[in-house]
């Protein structure tokens, strides 16, 4: 077959998908224990949700969005979660009570990037957003949730880096200072950073090119320019993180790619990942609702990549063991035995007990037991001519190798009694 999936977009199935589902459930439980409720938004949004809001000059909006063009509209496949979330909040007035609201999402994102290990074109993000709370305690809570997700899964090899990107006032003063610094060095910057210079000079600090990185080492950094309330916010954030027992470091070069951040910005990176080392990150975005021409309200959030979380778990050999095997494998020998076990298998399945049975009635015991092993059943249950005459069935514990005879009359209740696995 010549038709293949789109590059950078993967099929998921079998054991790998079971491991994903296990980890997904775990992460959802962490969110729930912090009081976050799920929100789902459509994969397709009007282009305006992202352009003009998350910043036209960001890579995501500038180069990475998949567009779907119809006669009358241009839509995009959601490249990130926060702008869609904000659109949904405003559309349904979820901010109107003025009370703090906690939301999480788990959704596929689409970005036209060059695929490599840990970088896909369709990837999956968990995200959390806390609205209507401007406090540093809220920022620390989000960082703690992210920390708890990794810690509780047994991943400890990561760095938590925090910074403050200031508020609109102190940031604009800082941007001027930064531009004055880079102005004489403009032609030494990479092409991308030269473009960034006018509209988002702070992102030059984020550039991965060596020449830009070297130049940025001498640049003025934001902590020296923060206004007193941003400074107080940041100091309090640090003491909250200490109270929450989150190990963090300050990094004035964390500016985040998106323009709507205010004050707190944070990133989790891990050497378990290789070149694409960002596990997750986020920050405060009090300025975003105004980009939708709505009254501002405070909000803070983060996004974490599921694929990268799975890579980290694999590196640490902490991937969950698959538990997807039948509890029982029924091995009827002959028509009469099949007619007895087939309806029983369906009845027990309806009760939530997985009893596998082969529909090939021509096979002998050897083949059937091979199947029981192949599907990794905990027990196999054999019913042949002899057992039928005696009114019994032979139950074999496949893990321990022990066997016992059960009465055919009480078979259903005997199976139910053995249906629970030890935790
Ligand atoms: P961002 O929205 O760019 O801040 O990304 C948040 C998180 O999503 C990152 O820390 C990564 O874990 C993950 N991520 C971002 N882009 C990709 C991608 N192309 N493929 C896989 N994971 C990604």
Tens digits of residue pLDDT in 198-207: 878 888 888 8
Residue 410 scores a pLDDT above 90:
yes
Residue 5 scores a pLDDT above 80:
yes
Confirm if 54 and 283 have CB atoms less than 8 A apart: no
- pLDDT of 259 reads 64
Token pair recorded at residue 370: 């091979």
What DSSP state is assigned to residue 97?
T
Nearest alpha carbon, ligand 1 atom 14? 305
- pLDDT of 302 reads 98
- Average the pLDDT over 391-415 and give the result: 96
- Average the pLDDT over 326-349 and give the result: 97
Partners of 163 in the beta sheet? 265
- pLDDT of 31 reads 98
Residue position matching structure tokens 């099949």? 338
Residue position matching structure tokens 């983060």? 302
Pairing of strands 264-269, 278-284: antiparallel
Residue 322 scores a pLDDT above 80:
no
- Average the pLDDT over 27-39 and give the result: 98
Nearest alpha carbon, ligand 1 atom 4? 281
What DSSP state is assigned to residue 123?
E
- If you write DSSP's letter for every residue of 382-412 in order, what string do you get? EE-HHHHHHTEEEEEETTT--EEEEESTTHH
Output the CA–CA distances (angstroms, integers) from residue 177 to 130, 171, 181, in the order listed: 32, 10, 6
- pLDDT of 76 reads 96
Closest CA to 160 of 273, 275, 246: 246
What DSSP state is assigned to residue 183?
G
* Biggest CA pair distance of the chain: 97
Residue position matching structure tokens 């050999």? 317
The model's confidence at residue 192, banded by pLDDT at 50, 70 and 90, is: confident
What is the distance of C-alpha 290 from the center of its chain? 28
Closest CA to 346 of 366, 367, 364, 328: 328
Q: What's the angle, vertex CA 284, arms to CA 278 and CA 290, rounded to 5? A: 125
Pocket test for ligand 1, best of 123, 129, 208 (most atoms within 8 A of CB): 123
In what helix (H) or strand (E) does residue 290 lie, and over which residues does it extend?
helix 288-291
- pLDDT of 258 reads 61
E strands present in 120-230: 122-131, 159-164
The model's confidence at residue 257, banded by pLDDT at 50, 70 and 90, is: low
Residue 226 scores a pLDDT above 80:
yes
Q: How far is the CA of 157 from the centre of ligand 1 (A)?
A: 18
- Average the pLDDT over 17-45 and give the result: 97
- Average the pLDDT over 62-82 and give the result: 92
- pLDDT of 52 reads 73
What DSSP state is assigned to residue 105?
E
The model's confidence at residue 378, banded by pLDDT at 50, 70 and 90, is: very high
- pLDDT of 55 reads 62
Q: How far is the CA of 305 from the centre of ligand 1 (A)?
A: 5
Which atom of ligand 1 lies at the shortest distance from residue 308's CA?
12
Residue 9 scores a pLDDT above 60:
yes
Q: How far is the CA of 282 from the centre of ligand 1 (A)?
A: 11
Total residues found in the chain within this entry: 423
Residue position matching structure tokens 């192949």? 374
- pLDDT of 379 reads 97
Nearest alpha carbon, ligand 1 atom 1? 303
What is the distance of C-alpha 196 from the center of its chain? 30
**pTM, entire model:** 0.91
The model's confidence at residue 392, banded by pLDDT at 50, 70 and 90, is: very high
Q: How many CB atoms lie within 10 A of CB 159?
A: 15
- pLDDT of 390 reads 96
Terminal-residue alpha carbon distance, the chain:
44
Q: How far is the CA of 416 from the centre of ligand 1 (A)?
A: 46
- Please tell me the distance from the alpha carbon of residue 63 to that of residue 66, in angstroms, as a whole number: 9
Q: How many CB atoms lie within 10 A of CB 130?
A: 25
Share of the chain above pLDDT 90, in %: 82
Residue 53 scores a pLDDT above 80:
no
Residue 54 scores a pLDDT above 70:
no
Q: How many CB atoms lie within 10 A of CB 363?
A: 14
Q: How far is the CA of 112 from the centre of ligand 1 (A)?
A: 12
Which atom of ligand 1 lies at the shortest distance from residue 113's CA?
19
Q: How far is the CA of 35 from the centre of ligand 1 (A)?
A: 24
Torsion of CA 189, 193, 197, 201, to 10 degrees: -110
Say how many CA atoms lie within 13 Å of 61 toward its Cβ.
Answer: 19
Closest CA to 82 of 207, 259, 234: 259
Q: Which amino acids bring their CB within 6 angstroms of ligand 1?
A: 80, 111, 113, 118-120, 123, 125, 278-281, 303-305, 307-308
Lowest model confidence (mean pLDDT) among 56-70, 88-102, 128-142, 289-303: 56-70
Residue 105 scores a pLDDT above 80:
yes
Averaged confidence pLDDT in the chain = 93
């Amino acid at each position: 077959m010549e038709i293949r999936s789109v590059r950078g977009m993967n099929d998921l199935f079998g054991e790998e998908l079971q491991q994903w589902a296990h980890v997904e459930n775990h992460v959802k439980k962490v969110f729930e224990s912090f009081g976050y409720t799920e929100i789902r938004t459509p994969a397709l949004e009007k282009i305006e949700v992202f352009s003009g809001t998350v910043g036209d000059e960001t890579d995501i909006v500038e180069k990475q969005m998949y567009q779907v063009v119809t006669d009358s509209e241009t839509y995009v496949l959601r490249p990130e979660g926060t702008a869609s979330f904000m659109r949904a909040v405003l559309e349904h007035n979820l901010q109107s009570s003025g009370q703090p609201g906690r939301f999480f999402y788990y959704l596929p994102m689409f970005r036209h990037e060059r695929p490599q290990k840990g970088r896909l074109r369709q990837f999956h993000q968990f995200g959390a957003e806390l609205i209507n709370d401007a406090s540093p305690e809220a920022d620390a809570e989000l960082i703690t949730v992210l920390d708890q997700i990794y810690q509780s899964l047994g991943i400890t090899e990561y760095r938590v880096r925090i910074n403050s990107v200031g508020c609109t006032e102190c940031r604009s003063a800082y941007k001027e200072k930064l531009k004055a610094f880079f102005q004489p060095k403009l032609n030494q910057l990479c092409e991308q950073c030269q473009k960034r210079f006018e509209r988002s000079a702070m992102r030059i600090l984020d550039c991965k090119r060596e020449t830009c990185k070297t130049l940025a080492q001498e640049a003025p950094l934001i902590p020296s320019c923060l206004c007193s309330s941003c400074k107080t916010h940041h100091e309090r954030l640090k003491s909250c993180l200490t109270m929450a027992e989150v190990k963090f470091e300050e990094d004035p070069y964390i500016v985040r790619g998106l323009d709507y951040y205010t004050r707190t910005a944070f990133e989790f990176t891990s050497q378990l990942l290789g070149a694409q080392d960002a596990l997750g990150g986020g920050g405060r975005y009090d300025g975003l609702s105004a980009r939708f021409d709505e009254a501002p309200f405070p909000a803070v959030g983060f996004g974490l990549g599921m694929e990268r979380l799975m890579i980290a778990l694999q590196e640490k050999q902490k991937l969950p063991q698959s538990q997807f095997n039948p509890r029982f494998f029924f091995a009827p020998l002959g028509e009469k035995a099949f007619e007895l076990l087939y309806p029983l298998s369906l009845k027990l399945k309806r009760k939530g007990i997985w009893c596998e049975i082969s529909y090939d009635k021509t096979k002998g015991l050897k083949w059937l037991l091979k199947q029981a092993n192949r599907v990794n059943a905990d027990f196999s249950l054999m019913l042949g001519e002899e057992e039928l005459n005696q009114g019994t069935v032979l139950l074999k514990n496949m893990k321990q190798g022990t066997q016992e005879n059960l009465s055919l009359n009480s078979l259903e209740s005997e199976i139910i009694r053995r249906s629970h696995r030890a935790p």
